[in-house]
Amino acid sequence: MSNRLGDRIMAELILVTGGTGTVGCVVSERLLDAGAQVRVLSRGLRSIGRAPHVVGDVRTGEGLTEAMRDVDTIVHCVDPAHHVVDAALAAAKPHLVFISIVGVDRVPLGYYQRKLADEQLIMGSGLPWTVLRTTQFHDLIAAALRMLAKPPILVVRRGGERSPSMFARWAHAWPNSR
């Protein structure tokens, strides 16, 4: 039995913005594995090798017009969205799938607020759209922990917050601990 929606999607050309990044690379690979026609957009020359690659920058809009030529769907995996929306409106109005984060409407962090603003822009754009709110990516936590595992790490014990001698000892010892 055929999946008509799946068949339609696999016949379309899908542009993945940020297609070589943490999220975009996984999205691109999964679409390719499913048999989709994928075009990858990224700022650099690095490609994923299995899909046509175009250089463009969603922050400036550079290269977006060419990247969207003949595209039926855009999977937008990076920020910001305004140049992507503008270029999509000028193109054939492809379906825009935006990767967002669960809780963007409840967490007052700047990154979450920018994601929410991008969602609102896309929803009000007149483009056909889908917003996918995913959970946070654990590799972000792993990267933060890797950064914390390198010197300088400052551990402050309870009651030691105001101890200048502790900072002096740490400053003296740190260059030798590298």
State pLDDT tens for residues 46-80: 777 889 999 999 999 999 999 999 999 999 999 99
Class of domain 4-136: alpha beta
Distance CA 147, CA 13 (A): 38
CA 150 and chain centroid, separation: 26
Domain boundaries, the chain: 4-136, 149-177
Distance CA 172, CA 177 (A): 10
Whole-structure pTM value: 0.76
pLDDT at 171: 54
Asked if pLDDT for residue 116 goes beyond 80, the answer is yes
Mean pLDDT score, 77-95: 97
Two tokens, residue 67:
């990247």
Q: Give every CB contact of residue 12 below 8 A, 6+ residues apart in sequence.
A: 36, 37, 72, 73
Q: For the chain, what is the mean pLDDT?
A: 83
Q: What percent of the chain has pLDDT over 90?
A: 60
